Amino acid sequence: MQDDRAEALRIFQAGVKAADPYAAVSGALQNVTEPGLIVAVGKAARLMAQAALARFVGVKCLVVTNYENATDLEGAVVMAAGHPVPDENGAAAARAVIAALHAAKGPVLALISGGGSALLPAPAGVLTLADKMDVNELLLGSGLNIEAMNLIRQQLSDLKGGGFLRHAAPRPVTALILSDVIGDDLSAIASGPTVGPIGTAQEAIETLQSAGLWQKMPANVRAHLESLSRPAPLPVARNILVGSNATSVAAMKQAAGKAHVIADPVVGDVAAAARLICDHAGFGTTVWGGETTVVLRGTGRGGRNQELALRIAQEAARRGWRDWICLQGGSDGRDGPTDAAGGLVDQDTLGKIGDIDGLLANNDSYAALKEAGGLLMTDATGTNVADLGVMIRRG
C-alpha cells in the first residue's frame, strides 16, 4: 500500500508540474511586444512575473499574490494579500495597480491566474472593503460554483469584469492567463479583469435570490446592484490561455502510463462527485480534474478536496472495496482555510476516525483526516489550475 501511496502522489505531482507558471509564460512570450508595465495577479503571479522579467529586463512590474507565495523577486514590487477572503492589503494592492495602469508609458502585459479575484479587491461605487469581505464569506459557504461567484464579484468591483482594461486605456493590453476554472471561461478566471463580464447586475441579483442569499447581502451591496446600468463597451484586449486543468489531467494520464481518465470534469456537490468518481473507477488507475463545491453547515475546518476524499472513502466502503487508495488535492497546495492540499484515503481510513458522520456534519474534514493520518501536505505550489484526483484500485 505504501507503494500505491507514493505512486498516487507521483501522478498528482506530474499534474502540478504540467501547470508550471514559469514554463507556461516563457512559451507564450515570443509573440508579445515589450511592455511598458507588467502586472501579475493571482496565486501563480510570482512565477509568471519571473518568466516575463527574464525576457523583459528592467520593465516596471507589480506582483500581487497570496501570502504563502509572496517572496521577493528582483525587478518587481511584490505585494501580499488575503485569500480566499480579501483584506486591506489586497485593497492597497488594487489601488497600486490602478495607479500604475494610469501611469504606464506603453503597452501593458497582464499575467492572470486563479485567486486573483480575492487578492485584488477594488470596491465599486460606495461599497467598502468590509462589504466585499462579507459578500465573499457568504459566497464561499453557499455551494455556488466559481462562475456564479465571479458573476457576482464582478458587479461589485472596479477592476473585475474588464475593469482593468478601462483603467489601462488607451494603452493596449495583452493578458497571459493560467486557468483555474473548469471549461476555461476567460471571463471567470480571477473574475476576468481583462475580459468582459460573465453577465449583468440583474443576473447577479437573480443568482443571489435563487441561492437564498439576497436578503443576507449587506444593504450597500443590494442597493449597488439594483442601481447599476449597462456599462459602456470595453476596450479590446488580447487574451491568451497558457495553462489549464485539462492540460494537467493529460499529464497525469501520461505519468501513470496506463490510466482511465474521467472525461467530464468532476464538479458539483462533493457527495454526488464521490459517487460519480467511484462509478468510473475500475481496477487500475483512474485520474480526473475538476472543482467541486461544499455547502457549509458547521463550524469546522477543511476544504472541498478534504471533504471529497472522505466522501469517496465512505462511498468505497459502501461498495465493499477492499484494496484501493485515492488522492484528491488542490493544485495550488492549499485547500480551504487550512495548510493541507487535500486528502489521501484508503480502505483503512474510516476505521481510524472516531465519529466520521459528526465531523462531516460540522464540515470538519481537516480534523477527520488528521485523526486518520490522511492529510495531503504539499506546501504552496506556486500555481493554480483547480483540483486533481488519482484513484488506484486493486480490489
Tell whether 128 and 73 lie within a shared domain.
Answer: yes
Tell whether 293 and 377 lie within a shared domain.
Answer: yes
Question: Is the CB of residue 384 less than 8 Å from the CB of residue 113?
Answer: yes
Q: What range defines the domain where residue 362 resides?
A: 2-14+246-393
- Give the CA diameter of the chain: 65
Tell whether 77 and 183 lie within a shared domain.
Answer: yes
In order of 84, 299, 367, the CA distances from 302 in angstroms are 13, 10, 8
- Output the CA torsion sign for 86, 218, 137, 384: negative
Residue whose C-alpha cell reads 477492499 in the numeric block: 322
Tell whether 218 and 301 lie within a shared domain.
Answer: no
Tell me the per-residue pLDDT of 312-329, one tens digit each, with 9 for 90 and over.
999 999 999 999 999 999
Number of compact structural domains in the chain: 2
| pLDDT value at residue 97 | 98
Tell whether 61 and 159 lie within a shared domain.
Answer: yes
Tell whether 90 and 238 lie within a shared domain.
Answer: yes
Residue whose C-alpha cell reads 462511498 in the numeric block: 315
Three-class SS of residue 111? strand
Helix (H) / strand (E) containing 290? strand 284-293
Q: Alpha-carbon distance 189 to 25, whole Å?
A: 16
Residue ending a domain, among 195, 222, 243, is 243
Q: Alpha-carbon distance 45 to 344, whole Å?
A: 28
Compute the mean pLDDT over every residue in the chain, rounded to the nearest whole number. 95
Taking only the tens of pLDDT, the chain with its 395 residues reads 679 999 999 999 999 999 999 999 999 999 899 999 999 999 999 999 999 999 999 999 999 999 999 999 999 999 999 998 899 999 999 999 999 999 999 999 999 999 999 999 999 999 999 999 999 889 988 989 888 998 999 999 999 999 999 999 999 999 999 999 999 999 989 999 999 998 999 999 999 999 999 999 999 999 999 999 888 889 999 999 999 999 999 999 999 999 999 999 999 999 999 999 999 999 999 999 999 999 999 999 999 999 999 999 999 999 999 999 999 999 999 999 999 999 999 999 999 999 999 999 999 999 999 999 999 999 999 999 999 999 999 98
Tell whether 196 and 268 lie within a shared domain.
Answer: no
Tell whether 58 and 112 lie within a shared domain.
Answer: yes
Tell whether 305 and 385 lie within a shared domain.
Answer: yes
Tell whether 239 and 292 lie within a shared domain.
Answer: no
Tell whether 205 and 260 lie within a shared domain.
Answer: no
What secondary structure does DSSP assign to 215-244, as a single string? GGS-HHHHHHHHH--PPPPPPP-EEEEEE-
Tell whether 213 and 261 lie within a shared domain.
Answer: no
Residue 287's closest CA among 11, 4, 43, 5? Answer: 11
Residue ending a domain, among 243, 274, 301, is 243
In order of 261, 280, 370, 374, the CA distances from 390 in angstroms are 10, 12, 20, 14
| pLDDT value at residue 1 | 60
Three-class SS of residue 31? helix
Q: Alpha-carbon distance 363 to 375, whole Å?
A: 15
Dig out the grid coordinates for 377 from the structure.
501536505
Residue ending a domain, among 175, 208, 243, is 243
Between helix 146-155 and helix 201-210 the angle, nearest 10°, is 130
Q: What CATH number should be reported for the domain holding residue 70?
A: 3.40.50.10180
